[in-house]
Amino acid sequence: MTTIPPVANKDRLTGLDSSFLHLERDSAHMHVAGCSVFAGSAPPYDDLVAAIESRLHLVPRYRQRLAFVPLGQGRPVWVDDPHFNLRYHVRHTALPRPGGEAELKRLAGRVFSQALDRSRPLWELWLVEGLAGGRFAVLSKTHHALVDGISGVDIATVLFDTSPDPLPVAAPDQEWDARPLPSRAQLLADALLERATVPAEAARGIRATLRGPRTVARRAGRALGSVSALAWTGLQAAPPSPFNQRIGPHRRFTWVRADLARFKAIKNSLGGTVNDVVLAAVAGALGSYMRLHGRQTDGVDLKAMVPVSVRADVERGALGNRVAAMWATLPVGQADPVARLHTVSEAMVGVKQSGQAVGAEILTAVSGFAPPTIMAQAARLQARQRLFNLVVTNVPGPQFPLYLLGRELEAIYPMVPLAENTALGIAILSYNGQLNFGLVGDFDALADLEVLADELRSSIDELASAAGVPVAAPAGGSPRASTRQARAAR
């Protein structure tokens, strides 16, 4: 008789997924979020609920909540929520008049300030009516333990349509019925059994990733070098900045809408990659903002934590996190936009050659075998240290229009969660020719977040001007003078 070797519970969180639970505090909420703006009048709430319900079988995690192992003896597992109520997760509200972007941004900030209830499935959607111009919005929140940026984009393509008149979604094979909840004793027994039996398989898996004809030593050496590069870079303390303060639970949220083709044109003219141009624009905005607040920036390089997807194409659509981290240098003291871009580009080439992302992926895999108590302490230690000044994450989205009940999605503005002692996060998402920046800040620490958004627009304009790329025109208006020019005129 063939013996089937034990394997890890497919519903158990990975070490990386679990770390986002450990990082969460009353002041630091670990959900990713987004504000989506649609053309046309808002659909009736009941129609939206029905549309989402017809597709929930495509994302079964949306009907599941966390079950925690007693005594912290294992990572949590996903279990069916026997009390699942879709109308709790899909909510309905409206903007006060005049229903402009300012009102939508304030609402988004309030919604994104509220932590998700861990006793329920970790997601929410808010249907927002009353947006000026005959439009509506949808605010989305999903815990980082459930998705990373890439898989979150994949979920959007499942819940949304790719044409105004979509084909009907195939019904599930059988009606959903919640599986019985495991008892505390069962959760503990399963975790202990898995800990005792699975590590042997894990060790074989690690050996397999390094194994190859006559290449074991070479690959092992590269792996150790990558981990060393990550550790050395990560342990260098980030410089003091106005973006590293104790944070509270409340958030401000704003955005900058940009054109992907414009960034590509800058890249083609000045060199580097689109991501280099993004980081150079962010560095210029941060430097200007710091100088406006009387901070010296000469010779100052801020440190950004840049998540990098390591999700293979065959894994697209799967939930959970498949990300690693790299540390990017942001030369905020470099006033010349071309020199700033070249500095960023050269630094990112060095980062890639150092193998930081590979090292982070290896450590992420190893963390899956660390006891939960060690993972929790490591997450708390990381949150207390000033290892980076801010998070800048750039996620590729679908380059075709999406629709919700026949209404076209005009724009998506993403939000990345704030870590403890980090008052600013910048998320970038490309969609259908756009490259949109979502800026989230602590409500008290960054009361003038809109000023930073203005400086980001000006920084993008500076790079475009240096590259000979025409100045962008805002929607429905003529080309806008840069913020610095307008300030000088006053």
The helix or strand, by DSSP H or E, that contains position 288, with its residue range, turns out to be helix 274-292
Select the more confidently predicted residue: 82 or 1: 82
Which H or E element spans position 424? strand 424-431
Residue 341 CB: number of other CB atoms within 10 A?
Answer: 27
pTM for the model stands at 0.82
How sure is the predictor about 322, in pLDDT bands with cuts at 50, 70 and 90? very low
Reported confidence tier of residue 292, pLDDT bands at 50, 70, 90: very high
What would the mean pLDDT of 271-293 be, rounded to a whole number? 97
- Please name which of 152, 18, 135, 134 lies closest in space to residue 73, comparing C-alpha atoms: 18
Average pLDDT over residues 266-291: 97
The CA radius of gyration of the chain, in Å to the nearest whole number, is 23
Q: What is the pLDDT of residues 13-36, one digit of tens each?
A: 877 778 778 888 889 998 999 999
* Cα–Cα distance, 168 to 54 (Å, whole number): 10
pLDDT of the residue at 117: 95
98: cis peptide before it, omega within 30°? yes
pLDDT above 70 coverage of the chain, percent: 73
Instruction: Give the pLDDT band of residue 155 (cuts 50, 70, 90).
Output: low
Q: At what angle do helices 184-197 and 199-210 cross, to 10 degrees?
A: 40
With a pLDDT cut of 90, the percent of the chain lying above it is: 55
Mean pLDDT on 261-277: 96
Cα angle vertex 150, ends 146, 153, to 5°? 90
- Measured CA distances, 151 to 137, 156, 275, 359, 384 (Å): 21, 9, 20, 22, 28
The residue ranking higher by pLDDT, 167 or 28, is 28
Catalytic residue among 144, 250, 293, 342: 144
pLDDT for 307: 76
Lowest-pLDDT choice from 168-172, 418-422, 445-449: 168-172
Q: Report the range of poorest mean pLDDT among 55-69, 190-204, 298-312.
A: 190-204
Helix (H/G/I), strand (E/B), else coil: 145: coil
Average pLDDT, the chain: 80
Question: What average pLDDT score do residues 100-117 get?
Answer: 97
Whether the predicted pLDDT of 144 surpasses 50: yes
Residue 359 has pLDDT above 70, yes or no: no
For 65, the enclosing helix (H) or strand (E) is strand 64-67
pLDDT for the residue 314 = 38
Highest mean pLDDT among 163-172, 238-247, 349-358, 365-374: 238-247
The first and second tokens of residue 262, run together, are: 């414009």
Say what the pLDDT of residue 24 is. 87
Please name the residue ranges forming H helices in 368-467: 372-384, 449-466
Residue 331 has pLDDT above 50, yes or no: yes
Cα distances (Å, whole numbers) of residue 461 to 277, 292, 334, 428, 429: 12, 18, 16, 17, 19
Contact 284, 464 (CB under 8 A): no
Dihedrals φ, ψ of 16, to 5°? Answer: -70, -45
| Residue 56 near residue 85, CB atoms below 8 Å | no
Q: No. of H helices and E strands in the chain?
A: 15, 14
Residues in Cβ contact with 38 at an 8 Å cutoff, skipping those fewer than 6 apart:
135, 136, 137, 138, 404, 407, 408, 409, 410
- 351 — pLDDT class (breaks 50, 70, 90): confident
**Does residue 136 carry a pLDDT above 90?**
yes
- Confidence grade of residue 83 (pLDDT, cut at 50, 70, 90): very high
* 72: three-class secondary structure by DSSP: helix
83 catalytic, yes or no? Answer: no
pLDDT at residue 297 is higher than 80? yes
